[in-house]
Structure 1
């Protein structure tokens, strides 16, 4: 069998401890004395004896002798460690690890393995050799090698874990268990090394391993992370056909995956079929309900989210902190502050204290609505009740203050965080400040320089996002020469520009009447495969702004052919035709847009209505245009409607009356 342990091979390498010898030697005498003292728990006498009689061989014999009493072994080894004159050998510690694994003391074994590698300086392969050479069927079991893999993954060393697996397979003809592979693959997912996960998963299957429910769950989890929900469901059915029944984790992952791609109805259908598909063995738990409640909150269906909460309670599953936090966020997302605060009161009544996650959500949405006063009150309450700010609170504060025009306050708060050493090295806060400073327009460059200088003083280099934010800021300010200069600096620093940065430069060139340069750049990007709809829309807008009609139409037809068009593309053309006075042609472009399955939006509405009004069309024609857009599913822009359509309707109504 594939996973059968090569006991004969290991037995040949085993070291037999506690043997009886024909003649006693000093180590035998010491061994006998230690055993007597240890059995009788005479610790003081034992400590005196240990101070001058210790060798690694002797310690290994004692550990082996008392292998059925792991607590006693640990007590003995602790006293051994207190002897300054003694330094245990690799083999000695490996014997101790074997005993711990055989006694199912896995955490203790992990501690000893980590000590070997991180404190004593042995490599993972040296530890493997030590465990292999000290393997003794009387005191050892194969799980020891699975535990070594777990030790490697526990401090994030995936390469070492893999080397242990392969070394055992190729050098020692030994195959670790499916559980060890699952542990290894799970840590690859946690490290977000998904490509590596798929390669090693395929390799494992090629070795003939039979997947278990945990393996299938890892595959489903990875597919859901990659938004490949239909493939995850396909694996789910393959799992059922293999005779392996899913557990509640399997269902929860797929339900959560469906909710993440906004297919909440699919998640709900699966939720209703959990009992049927598991032969009545599996019921939803709090995580199942919370996933669905979160999904419905994200799409604004608070009625269904509340009904699920009621159903949860009827099943005997009490809503927990996550449930309430999700509902609070859902109500705030819809602008229902009163309902959100009522839920917070209900939490307190049920002895569930709102935590910083709940408060972060409240503060975020208050800042989003521009309610600075209420956000400040909530923040003061957090401070008063000793609710700790975390990195998300700090991010929300800096972003919220900046977005609402309180940039000096945001800068001062950031300065205070730096002074308290509370700023992460991910550069998120600094990039946020740079972004909003560029959009403030008032002394922005000098303040941006201050933020960047502060970063460098703290040992933080500019990352791709920082460079991209600066380039985009200069481009939007019309300072394309500065944007190009920063781009050159970025290249010199060895940073690789991404598509977002290239799009910023293309957009800046087009808006600064350098559309010919923009076209050259886009052509080069096409050769590299580095372009998307945003790139082409920027160029199309540049052609239209420069009245390059033929270039604009040629590009549009190429975009249509390549299926690289969206609502923005059509709105650019609608706006262009309206600007040259061809309202009818603008409407025809809108009709093409509808034929392509894309609904006009409020921007389309504003462009057509505003330009129709400027061209002084009659009342009936303007109302007909408005009605046509509404019939096509457009929600009129409120400001445009109030400015143009509303007054006209009122005026016409007064004439009729």
Structure 2
């Protein structure tokens, strides 16, 4: 019995020994490192973790740790970043892809985009290699389809729309997997940001053909594309298609159409849409700061500051605070209208509200002060910019150079330009050089040597004149009458491989026409016609040349040819020919030409007004002259103030004084440059009869 008991115990002991032997089997080295890393990571013992990771670290171990902490994305990412700094260790493609899967699953999209960016830019992997790595490491437990949307997004952020498209198509064709509509929206948006309008429409149609259902963001992109192409009413039709399709617009939808309307000058339409935002969105959308900024900008461009102020009042009622952009737009609007005091008052109000003017606002103020000829205030403002450490940007420099030139301070402009060159602050876009060349040519013949200095500075900086530079020089020489120099510059331009544009050809034709080289100008116009490079400016220059050289038959033939074509005639054409007829004393024929001009749908301008009145004042009676003034005003002409004050004003004053001496039962209506007249005298009697005098 005792032996049996001992035997049984010994058997159990043997079994336990076998079990313990299996349990205490020598572990694999990778498991030891893995467990040590996990313990150190949980306890945030980064120094100890670095010691463990400094030796025997493999991608397999890193993958296991990342998967172990897939529910703790901060620790997983922190671990990856820590081990990535270890010398002698380079994370594999699979390693980074597993981490990306983990981060996407935890919705850490910013970290994902940052990882993908480093993946493709720093580590040198292509977008298709990343795609293949993500596909091979895809696991239902740790992955979700959004990872491929993230890759599309990362490609667009790198500015490569082709890569984004390749990812979409590769997944569809090779993997039979479709990215979401959100990925397509990101891709289409990147096309619009790159101003690739035609590819946008092509890819949009392709997306629709694949059977994707548009959402509000897709429709917003379509509206944005149409607004970029100035197809406002097509954008509005898409807006109504959204409503019919049950896709409710958001505030971005409204803002894009309102902004598009304002940019096209139809601010009234933008305001109507603004008023109906609540109704059209079933009360879901209200205007925001961007909405008001779009409208304020539109009305400021029109000079309607009264409506702008009413919009500001509405903002206050809706408790929408203006931002720096709002103030900047308003300041520019007041300066554009010439209200300098109001603009500076607004600047003070902006500062009181805690906003510091940036260089955009300073640039706007400086531009309009120079435009108005106020160089003194501009200098004070520039000094203030320097004292308050508001940096000059390329626009500030451009405004300064152009403003100084515009106000006749060419030497100061040249000195400032040379200082910028010495500090290496001049951009390579040649804007400053072209501005200087333009104003130097306008200043007189002696400035040619200074133009040469500017061009030499360009060459010293490794730049060559561009088409604008050559065109400005050709135009300058042509206006100076130096056709030989203009032709020489043209030849240099051709030798340098620059292709002349129509503006340059027109400058040459104009110069030839004004300098007794009308036959050469005609030959050049014929050559341009063969090249299909003709426009109304070219023919107007030739017509003006014929008229200046008293070539009557040629002028008549060209005018009737231009008129017959229709597209190659404008207000300038009629003004040139009217002036030509008036020089012959043919006032009646010139007046007939005026009627012909209006019949063709063209509106006479202040130049038409001056041409007719200055030539007619010596040929017709004062009554007929005043009648001609009235007729022009009725046709929509805004009279030239100097012409009106010199010729028409005194006549109307004499007529008014004469009427005061005559006792009449009705009041004589005073004529003015902006009045329109009724052909029916009886109607005038009704309006200005005795009852009106009693009221006055």
TM-score norm. by structure 1 comes to 0.91
Q: Which residue of 1 aligns with 2:168?
A: 165
- The match for 1:458 among 447, 458, 461 is 461
Equivalent residue runs for 1:130-145 within 5 Å: 130-145=133-148
**Shift of residue 23 of structure 1?**
9.9
Counterpart CA distance in 2 for 1:654 and 1:230 is: 54
Counterpart CA distance in 1 for 2:631 and 2:450 is: 49
Counterpart CA distance in 1 for 2:362 and 2:521 is: 46
User: How large is the RMSD of aligned CA atoms in angstroms?
Assistant: 2.4
Q: Which residue of 2 aligns with 1:227?
A: 230
8 A contact 2:582–2:612 mirrored in 1: yes
1:317 equivalenced with 2:340 (yes/no): no
1:629 equivalenced with 2:632 (yes/no): yes
Equivalent residue runs for 1:162-561 within 5 Å: 162-561=165-564
| Greater shift in the superposed pair: 411-420 or 342-351 | 342-351
Corresponding residue SS for 1:291: helix
| Greater shift in the superposed pair: 237-246 or 355-364 | 355-364
- The match for 2:607 among 579, 600, 603 is 603
Instruction: For structure 2, list consecutive stretches of 5 or more residues without a partner in the other structure.
Output: 1-24, 662-696
8 A contact 2:105–2:143 mirrored in 1: yes
1:584–1:163 CA distance, 2 compared to 1 (3 A): same
8 A contact 2:70–2:142 mirrored in 1: yes
**Shift of residue 545 of structure 1?**
2.7
**Shift of residue 422 of structure 1?**
2.4
Counterpart CA distance in 2 for 1:251 and 1:173 is: 37
Q: Which residue of 1 aligns with 2:10?
A: none
Query: Based on CA coordinates, which of the two structures has the bigger radius of gyration?
Result: 2
Q: How many residues are paired up?
A: 635
TM-score norm. by structure 2 comes to 0.86
1:443–1:160 CA distance, 2 compared to 1 (3 A): farther
**Shift of residue 258 of structure 1?**
0.7
Q: Which residue of 2 aligns with 1:569?
A: 573
Counterpart CA distance in 1 for 2:292 and 2:658 is: 58
1:67 equivalenced with 2:70 (yes/no): yes
Corresponding residue SS for 2:54: helix
8 A contact 2:445–2:480 mirrored in 1: no
Counterpart CA distance in 1 for 2:206 and 2:565 is: 37
1:589 equivalenced with 2:593 (yes/no): yes
Q: Which residue of 1 aligns with 2:88?
A: 85
Post-superposition Cα deviations, 1:11-42, rounded to whole Å, max 9, x if no partner, equal xxxxxxxxxxx996433333233223323333
Counterpart CA distance in 2 for 1:361 and 1:28 is: 67
**Shift of residue 652 of structure 1?**
8.0
**Shift of residue 80 of structure 1?**
0.6
Post-superposition Cα deviations, 1:167-196, rounded to whole Å, max 9, x if no partner, equal 222222222222112112212221222222
Counterpart CA distance in 2 for 1:269 and 1:384 is: 45
1:175–1:603 CA distance, 2 compared to 1 (3 A): same
**Shift of residue 400 of structure 1?**
0.9
| Greater shift in the superposed pair: 636-645 or 263-272 | 636-645
Using CA pairs under 8 Å that are at least 6 residues apart, name the structure with larger relative contact order, 1 or 2.
Answer: 1
Counterpart CA distance in 2 for 1:324 and 1:247 is: 25
Post-superposition Cα deviations, 1:255-288, rounded to whole Å, max 9, x if no partner, equal 1111111111111111111111101100111111
Counterpart CA distance in 1 for 2:525 and 2:203 is: 38
Corresponding residue SS for 1:476: helix
**Shift of residue 646 of structure 1?**
4.3
Counterpart CA distance in 1 for 2:285 and 2:581 is: 61
Q: Which residue of 1 aligns with 2:157?
A: 154
